[in-house]
Structure 1
């Protein structure tokens, strides 16, 4: 059960025709939108105009809407603000400057840390919904050697992405998501056997993270891990202990 004594996680939602508050389908186990994932309440604000295809390809005009939604979340009591699409990292600096709570728009923020968890001969594989739009500017790396240790794979063209781009959003079966992501991981590992760690950029992937950790035998990080870490350090508004379990 969620604990009402701990600070809330705020989510910048995409404009998908559904809402955390009105969606009749319960959030899945492990989902970013499931309060049970974090053991605390979740609140959300839709980013107006943030359709999936617009966010993925990068649209500078969304910045104002992101800031507006983040400020609403902060006023409603969010202790940490996350985003329901890792491609919103393009607006990380502007959003974090606009509010006085930690902002984590994407699991991609973990890249520099994860590279240092593995030996210099190992590689980090980043799995994304659409690799065509995950460019150098989103990786946060200046060191050329670090960039060489990153491999990127996407599931563009698959059922999951097609459903995610639909209006309204169409929910994809978990088994289908797992199969598409697992197939891409297999392709990357055949090409790059030195892969030692995986990072899921897409916020739809955490529902299969646990299964794929078991299947691949590799460490896998996603946005929920970064949220748990950040929430664990956020001040408890009621002064109690604030220690959600990390995976």
Structure 2
């Protein structure tokens, strides 16, 4: 059954330097991705490189943008950068609607879905910055089941480090991801599912499923689940 919703999902967006944001089919901001309306607001100062590294603090800017979205009618809040997970608690405490800023929120649930000897891959924009605080896993046995692979140095990463960031073609994103998956397949056995941290990856999720023949999850899945809860 397709979810029909008259009230919007609010998306907290990265800075783009005033340039129009061109969304890709399948992305969190593309008009055909969801069956419910979406509104967005830019988080002041939230350039991709700043949010990925986690400095300087952007808590007040995230909270202010989330409040503006709620004032405009948003019944749930997400974001277009998985590293916004750093501000999940602050935003959730500041607004009276469900907040799901990152697909990383799915991590504990997905681990419990898998056999205990199988692993889950997190595909991220930058594995060097996908730290333990973002994962939130305290059990060493569970942490050992998580494999992190990043596309740092690839075309999407290079473009997102520029201000304003140029558009990255979907084919270039897919090439970055396929190269990362190739490295992971050589280094790790027993992978049973993939979680895309980066919100740039949903447009290539189908390709990842086709290549790996594994379940693939991303922020769009989290958004649909969250909006279904308030329908």
* Secondary structure at the counterpart of residue 38 of structure 1: coil
Q: 1:5, CA displacement in angstroms?
A: 5.0
TM-score calculated relative to the size of structure 2 = 0.95
Equivalent residue for 1:212? 208
Aligned pair partner of 2:190 in 189, 194, 204 = 194
Q: 1:60, CA displacement in angstroms?
A: 5.0
Counting only pairs closer than 5 Å after superposition, residues 1-247 of structure 1 correspond to structure 2 as: 6-18=6-18, 22-23=20-21, 25=22, 27-235=23-231
Given that residues 16 and 167 in structure 1 are in contact (C-alpha distance below 8 angstroms), is that contact kept between their aligned partners in structure 2?
yes
Q: 1:61, CA displacement in angstroms?
A: 2.1
Distance 2:150 2:192 in 1: 18
Task: Give unmatched runs, 5+ long, in structure 2.
Answer: none
Task: Give unmatched runs, 5+ long, in structure 1.
Answer: 236-247
Q: 1:35, CA displacement in angstroms?
A: 2.7
Given that residues 18 and 169 in structure 1 are in contact (C-alpha distance below 8 angstroms), is that contact kept between their aligned partners in structure 2?
no
* Secondary structure at the counterpart of residue 122 of structure 2: strand
Distance 1:162 1:143 in 2: 34
Given that residues 82 and 197 in structure 2 are in contact (C-alpha distance below 8 angstroms), is that contact kept between their aligned partners in structure 1?
yes
Distance 2:24 2:9 in 1: 17
Structure 1 moving runs of 4+ over 3 Å: none
Given that residues 92 and 103 in structure 1 are in contact (C-alpha distance below 8 angstroms), is that contact kept between their aligned partners in structure 2?
yes
Given that residues 56 and 133 in structure 1 are in contact (C-alpha distance below 8 angstroms), is that contact kept between their aligned partners in structure 2?
yes
Q: 1:18, CA displacement in angstroms?
A: 4.5
How many residue pairs get matched?
230
Given that residues 31 and 206 in structure 1 are in contact (C-alpha distance below 8 angstroms), is that contact kept between their aligned partners in structure 2?
yes
Distance 1:4 1:170 in 2: 34
TM-score calculated relative to the size of structure 1 = 0.89
Given that residues 5 and 35 in structure 2 are in contact (C-alpha distance below 8 angstroms), is that contact kept between their aligned partners in structure 1?
no
Q: Considering only aligned residues, what root-mean-square deviation do their CA atoms show, in Å?
A: 1.6
